């Protein structure tokens, strides 16, 4: 909890983002309440002040710097002065901007995204947002888990797997099916259909890494990853794309023997079959139809996306997919490989955060973990599979002092550049399948690099928290247009990279800047192409997630807007990453890679990399299938080694 004086400043900052305002003349009761009840009336200012202490070291530090810079006078200044001060201070340094960004996101995402005990948010009637379509079913919570007593515990296994997501679940299943004793340690908790409430803010708080609030040190990259039993596969959008041929050839040249041949086709087919990938259940919602109109009008092609959804998937429920599929139609690892693993005898512990891998004479001997914060668990195992995801896997190796100089380097993120159009007719982009079409036509437009065009999920909290801020009234006015938003992103293929390092608390932190010239040019091209598509599809207003408001309104000079987007300062760009890869990559050279071409660490025998962090480069397509096929391949090598 910050000092009393700091609390007063934080509360004044919250009240600047969401002040109490008069509604426009003639507004109905819901709209009057939406304008009137700002951060103070809703208790958001007090809640945010209370929550700042639990942020990670980087953002906590950025908020502390901001409070120092604003000083005590800020709390007593009028609204206009506070607004101007915050905007000016955010331009002084990226660290101060991160502090402003964090408090803005917490305030506005809470205002329109957080729910009360009844599962609703009081602003939704004014925004036209319907909230959940149905209640969670009474699904039994019967996934078999091992529970441990508080205090100290010891376990033995042949193979211990760290993380239960796309990669870890596969290696666990294959090792257990090969007759090994397998223990899966998953840091997050077990949630299933009975817990999925179709509320994005709750889904993020309970099933995303750091509650969905992890920023790169520059604040330019928001990092989204799954943290629940089953990892990202439980909350992802089910886009299934095979590894591109040219990427397979490149990785073969890096020392991943045979990756360009039939054996990797076989591993990919195995995954494709097990998670039931199909296009038969794929349906376009209004958001995606608008995107297809924009693409076609500019002469760009699109394809129907393959998804790992059951064939009787009910598309009307799919807008809440990133908060888990209440219908149980998402063929996540929880319903596939993790089940296979326990069917073959694997044991699973949740709430088990692996702190360190233990080694002796260059060989793995086990891991040390903390379970539910109360149990110190020591596991003896001759094989350790690191599959904690692209952000946490390198942190495990760094804390263990193993993996060599490349650990944490080469982090690729598929930076996603988001552009939203406001249409004359309601789009209600929260209805229907989040992602159902893709265009590959712009994947090689900037020095051989480029981006995929795909649509996105829409929810009030994200658009409230991340849309550019100019003043409290404009923010409220804009949010009332939510049903008219169509929103798409350009998912770019990294040219440069970032890095995972350990912060002051020994936790994973991310360094990433838009400092690579090719990546910058891809970002500009993505923003301008998506803006052109929106205009072709009939948008009357277009805006981006740049820090400063980059907006076009019908009647204004569109070419001038494209120039403005192209000329916007590099630091103004804001990206999001749902794909973190490469931070413990495979390869032949121990100076530039962490593990050999089959996944075993160069410097420690018996430690294997089994997740997205193993990818030698970004694949340039949504990575789940690649992560899983590579995990099948690594599992085959692990099984051969027994």
Nearer to ligand FAD among residue 162 and residue 500 (C-beta): 162
Spell out the alpha helix ranges (H) of 20-71: 29-36, 44-51, 57-70
The nearest distance, CB 593 to ligand FAD, in angstroms, is 17
Please tell me whether residue 186 binds ligand FAD under the rule CB under 6 A: yes
CA distance 188 to 476: 35
Q: Which is nearer to ligand FAD, 67 or 229 (CB)?
A: 229
Does 237 sit near ligand FAD (CB under 6 A)? yes
DSSP string over 532-591: HHHHHHT-SEEEE-SSS--EEETTS-HHHHHHHHHHS-GGG--EEES--B-TT-B-S-TT
- Quote the least distance from Cβ 392 to ligand FAD, whole Å: 3
Pairing of strands 485-492, 416-422: antiparallel
Q: What is the DSSP letter of 376?
A: E
Judged by DSSP in three states, 365 sits in strand
Closest CA to 391 of 212, 634, 175, 603: 212
Kindly tell me which residue out of 105, 354, 491, 539 binds ligand FAD, with binding defined by CB under 6 A. 354
The nearer residue to ligand FAD, 356 or 521, going by C-beta atoms, is 356
Smallest gap from Cβ 305 to ligand FAD, in A, equals 8
Q: How far, in Å, CA of 322 to CA of 537, rounded?
A: 26
Q: Which of residues 323-352 bind ligand FAD (CB under 6 A)?
A: 352
In angstroms, the CA 256 to CA 625 distance is 17
Q: Applying CB under 6 A, does 227 fall inside the site for ligand FAD?
A: yes
Structural tokens at position 404 = 């060599």
Our CA dihedral for 202, 204, 210, 215, rounded to 10 degrees, sits at -130
Instruction: For residue 113, state whether it binds ligand FAD (rule: CB under 6 A).
Output: no
According to the binding rule CB under 6 A, does residue 612 interact with ligand FAD? yes
Closest approach, Cβ 462 to ligand FAD, in A, equals 11
In the complex with ligand FAD, the residue whose CB is nearer, 163 or 294, is 163
Q: Applying CB under 6 A, what is the total number of residues that bind ligand FAD?
A: 43
CB of 507 vs ligand FAD, minimal distance in Å = 10
Q: Which stretch binds ligand FAD (CB under 6 A): 97-105, 181-189, 458-466, 499-507?
A: 181-189
How many degrees, rounded to 5, is the angle at CA 575 between CA 407 and CA 489? 120
Q: How many residues does the chain have?
A: 642
Question: For the window 407-446, what string marks contact with ligand FAD as x by the rule CB under 6 A?
Answer: ----------------------------x-----------
Question: In angstroms, what is the minimal distance from the CB of 334 to ligand FAD?
Answer: 10
Give the CB-nearest residue to ligand FAD.
165
With respect to ligand FAD, which residue has the nearer C-beta, 49 or 509?
509
Query: What burial letters (b/e) apply to 415-450, b meaning 16+ CB within 10 Å?
Result: bbbbbbbbbeeebbbbbbbbbbbbbbbbbeebeebb
| Shortest distance (Å) from residue 187 CB to ligand FAD | 3
Residue 358: phi, psi to the nearest 5? -100, 135
Composition of the chain by helix, strand, coil, percent to 5: 40, 20, 40
Place of tokens 């990559």: 585
Task: Decide if residue 238 touches ligand FAD (CB under 6 A).
Answer: yes
> Which two tokens mark 443?
């994947």
Q: Is 624 in the site for ligand FAD (CB under 6 A)?
A: yes
Angle made by CA atoms 522, 526, 528, in degrees to the nearest 5: 115
Binding mask 375-394 for ligand FAD (x = CB under 6 A): ------------xxxx-x--
Choosing from 19, 38, 132, 165, the residue that interacts with ligand FAD (CB under 6 A) is 165
Could you say which of 31, 59, 83, 164 contacts ligand FAD (CB under 6 A)?
164
235 lies in the site for ligand FAD, by CB under 6 A? yes
10 Å CB burial of residue 360 (0-12, 13-18, 19+) is: exposed
Q: Looking at beta carbons only, is 545 or 552 nearer to ligand FAD?
A: 545
The CB-of-578 to ligand FAD minimum distance in angstroms stands at: 4
Chain residues in the site for ligand FAD (CB under 6 A): 162-168, 185-188, 224-228, 231-233, 235-239, 322, 352-354, 387-390, 392, 396, 435, 578-579, 611-612, 622-624, 627
């Amino acid at each position: 909890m910050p000092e009393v004086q700091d609390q007063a400043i934080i509360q004044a900052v919250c009240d600047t983002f969401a002040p109490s305002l008069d509604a426009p003349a003639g507004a109905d009761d819901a709209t009057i309440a939406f304008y009137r009840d700002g951060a103070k009336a809703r208790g958001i200012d007090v809640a945010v002040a209370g929550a700042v202490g639990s942020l990670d070291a980087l953002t906590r530090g950025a908020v502390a710097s901001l409070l120092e810079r604003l000083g005590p006078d800020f709390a007593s200044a009028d609204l206009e002065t506070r607004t101007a001060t915050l905007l000016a201070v955010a331009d002084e340094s990226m660290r101060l901007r991160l502090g402003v960004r964090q408090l803005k996101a917490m305030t506005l995402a809470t205002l329109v995204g957080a729910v009360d005990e009844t599962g609703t948010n009081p602003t939704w009637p004014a925004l036209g947002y319907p909230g959940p379509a149905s209640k969670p079913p009474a699904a039994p919570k019967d996934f078999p888990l091992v529970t441990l007593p508080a205090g100290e515990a010891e376990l033995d296994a042949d193979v211990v797997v760290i993380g239960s997501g796309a990669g870890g679940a596969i290696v666990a299943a294959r090792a257990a099916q090969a007759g090994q004793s397998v223990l899966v340690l998953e840091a997050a908790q077990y949630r299933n259909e009975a817990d999925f409430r179709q509320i994005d803010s709750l889904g993020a708080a309970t099933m995303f890494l750091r509650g969905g609030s992890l920023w790169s040190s520059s604040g330019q990259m928001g990092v989204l990853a799954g943290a629940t039993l089953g990892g990202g596969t439980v909350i992802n959008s089910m886009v299934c794309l095979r590894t591109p041929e040219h990427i397979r050839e490149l990785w073969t040249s890096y020392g991943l023997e045979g990756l360009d041949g039939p054996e990797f086709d076989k591993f990919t087919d195995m995954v494709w079959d097990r998670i039931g990938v199909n296009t038969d259940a794929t349906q376009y919602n209004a958001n995606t139809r608008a995107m297809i109109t924009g693409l076609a009008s500019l002469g760009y092609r699109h394809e129907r996306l393959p998804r790992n959804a059951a064939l009787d998937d009910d598309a009307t429920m799919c807008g809440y997919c990133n908060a888990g599929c209440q219908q149980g139609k998402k063929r996540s690892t929880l319903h596939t490989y993790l089940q296979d693993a326990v069917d073959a005898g694997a044991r699973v512990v949740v709430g088990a955060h692996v702190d360190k891998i233990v080694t002796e004479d260059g060989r793995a001997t086990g891991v040390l973990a903390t379970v539910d914060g109360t149990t110190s668990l020591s596991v003896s195992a001759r094989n350790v599979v690191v599959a904690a995801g692209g952000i946490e896997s390198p942190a495990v190796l760094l804390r263990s002092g193993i993996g060599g100089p490349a650990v944490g380097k080469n982090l690729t993120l598929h930076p996603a550049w988001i552009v939203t159009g406001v249409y004359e007719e309601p789009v209600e982009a929260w209805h229907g399948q989040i992602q159902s079409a893709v265009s590959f036509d712009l994947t090689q437009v900037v020095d051989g690099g480029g981006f995929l065009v795909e649509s996105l999920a829409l929810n009030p909290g994200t658009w409230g928290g991340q849309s550019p801020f100019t003043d409290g009234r404009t923010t409220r006015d804009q949010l009332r247009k939510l049903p008219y938003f169509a929103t798409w992103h350009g998912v770019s293929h990294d040219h440069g990279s970032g890095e995972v390092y350990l912060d002051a608390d020994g936790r994973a932190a991310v360094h990433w800047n838009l400092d690579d010239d090719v990546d910058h040019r891809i970002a500009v091209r993505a923003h301008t192409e998506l803006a052109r598509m929106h205009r072709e599809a009939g948008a009357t207003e277009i805006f981006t997630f740049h820090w400063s408001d980059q907006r076009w309104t019908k009647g204004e000079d569109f070419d001038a807007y494209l120039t403005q987007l192209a000329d916007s300062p590099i630091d103004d760009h804001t990206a999001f990453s749902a794909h973190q890869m490469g931070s413990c990559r495979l390869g032949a050279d121990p100076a530039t890679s962490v593990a050999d071409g089959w996944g075993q660490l160069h410097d420690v025998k018996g430690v294997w990399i089994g997740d997205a962090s193993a990818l030698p480069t970004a694949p340039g397509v949504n990575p789940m299938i690649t992560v899983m096929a590579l995990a099948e391949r690594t599992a085959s090598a692990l099984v051969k080694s027994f």
